[in-house]
């Protein structure tokens, strides 16, 4: 890792809608460079690259021209900390909505739900999501839910449920969804009120009645080593109430 360096670049000009992101991914993969590329809201393209110096320099040089249809005006590149990316990915590909609901049922847990092909793919996360990349949370795959369930909050059966976090998310990695989930390794970027940045779901080989996964925070600018976001922010993003408050009202 001591030989690896990182660069963050912003490319301006006629660079969106001309295949710039895909061309950058292909060049990065050929060079063995890790990182990501995304279209920014202001019409620029942002690139994070990390790898051996010569390979990173070659990718930055490619950004000066881009694909044939691009008209690059400027490339603003600067050294950046190495974040430990596993592969080069396109960011900014909308995938749908996500929600995390905290649920007191037979056992208290959090449900992570990601919209995939019109349904909410769901995982029960006993200890809740974490923003600490060193913390790997067990996530047990459960049945799909409909999108209407995303707004459910209040008493439910013998327990209760709150909308702990919600927002939209983007696909990540080189493998498209839902194929990434079928293969057992899916990378995604959350834009929630509490959860931000890159995450990965990695299916384990442990035999079980229901598939078991690990939910892992990626090492990026949104990471918070040593934090426990589930304990620090127990309130609902919908009502501001905590699950304990709802349970107390129901007694």
Residue 205 confidence (pLDDT)? 87
53-64 pLDDT, tens digit per residue, is: 999 999 999 999
CA nearest neighbour of 98 among 121, 76, 77: 121
Q: Kindly write down the DSSP assignment for every residue of 179-245, as one continuous string.
A: HHHHHTEEEEEEEESS-EEEEEEEE-----SS-EEEEEE-SSTT--TT--HHHH--B-TTTS-BHHH
Contacts of 197 by beta carbon, 8 Å cutoff, 6+ apart: 131, 189, 190, 217, 218, 220, 221, 222, 223
> 218 an active-site residue?
no
> What is the architecture of the domain spanning 5-90?
2-Layer Sandwich (3.30)
CA atoms within 13 A on the CB side of 185: 6
Of the candidates 39, 91, 113, 121, the residue annotated as catalytic is 39
Mean pLDDT for the chain? Answer: 91
Query: What are the backbone angles phi and psi of residue 8, rounded to the nearest 5°?
Result: -115, 125
pLDDT winner (highest mean) among 33-37, 83-87, 108-112: 108-112
Q: Looking at residues 217-230, what average pLDDT do you find?
A: 90
Peptide bond into 89 cis (omega under 30): no
Q: How far is CA 51 from the centre of its chain?
A: 22
> 21 an active-site residue?
yes
Query: What are the backbone angles phi and psi of residue 42, rounded to the nearest 5°?
Result: -90, 10
User: Taking the domains of the chain in order of start, what are their residue ranges?
Assistant: 5-90, 93-250
Residue 250 confidence (pLDDT)? 64
Share of the chain above pLDDT 90, in %: 69
How many Cβ atoms from other residues are within 10 Å of residue 118's Cβ?
A: 9
Strands 71-80 and 136-145: unpaired
DSSP 8-state class, residue 69: T
Please tell me the pTM assigned to this model.
Answer: 0.71
Residue 251 confidence (pLDDT)? 52
CA atoms within 13 A on the CB side of 25: 17
70-84 pLDDT, tens digit per residue, is: 999 999 999 998 887
Structure tokens at 185: 């390794």
pLDDT-derived band at 225, boundaries 50, 70, 90 = very high
What distance in Å separates the CA atoms of residue 20 and residue 29, rounded to the nearest whole number? 14
Q: Looking at residues 171-180, what average pLDDT do you find?
A: 79
pLDDT-derived band at 91, boundaries 50, 70, 90 = confident
Q: Looking at residues 143-158, what average pLDDT do you find?
A: 91
Strands 88-90 and 34-39: parallel
What distance in Å separates the CA atoms of residue 116 and residue 97, rounded to the nearest whole number? 9
26-55 pLDDT, tens digit per residue, is: 999 999 999 989 888 788 999 999 999 999
């Amino acid at each position: 890792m001591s030989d690896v360096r990182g660069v963050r670049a912003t490319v301006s000009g006629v660079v969106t809608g001309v295949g710039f992101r895909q061309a950058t991914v292909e060049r990065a993969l050929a060079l063995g460079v890790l990182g990501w590329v995304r279209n920014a809201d202001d019409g620029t393209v942002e690139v994070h690259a990390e790898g051996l110096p010569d390979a990173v320099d070659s990718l930055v040089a490619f950004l000066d021209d881009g694909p044939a249809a691009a008209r690059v005006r400027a490339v603003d590149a600067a050294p950046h900390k190495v974040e430990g990316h596993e592969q080069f990915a396109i960011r900014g590909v909308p995938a749908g909505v996500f929600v995390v609901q905290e649920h007191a049922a037979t056992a208290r847990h959090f449900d992570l739900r990601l919209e995939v092909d019109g349904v909410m793919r769901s995982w029960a996360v006993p200890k809740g999501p974490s923003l600490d990349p060193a913390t790997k949370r067990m996530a047990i795959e459960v049945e799909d839910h409909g999108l209407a369930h995303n707004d459910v909050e209040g008493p439910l059966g013998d327990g209760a449920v709150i909308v702990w976090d919600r927002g939209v998310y983007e696909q990540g990695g080189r493998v498209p969804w839902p194929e990434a989930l079928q293969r057992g390794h899916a990378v995604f970027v959350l834009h929630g009120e509490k959860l931000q940045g890159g995450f990965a779901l990695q299916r384990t080989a442990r035999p079980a009645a229901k598939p078991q996964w690990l939910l892992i925070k990626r090492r990026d600018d949104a990471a918070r080593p040593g934090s426990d976001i589930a304990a620090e922010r127990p309130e609902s993003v919908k009502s501001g109430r905590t699950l304990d408050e709802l349970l107390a009202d129901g007694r």
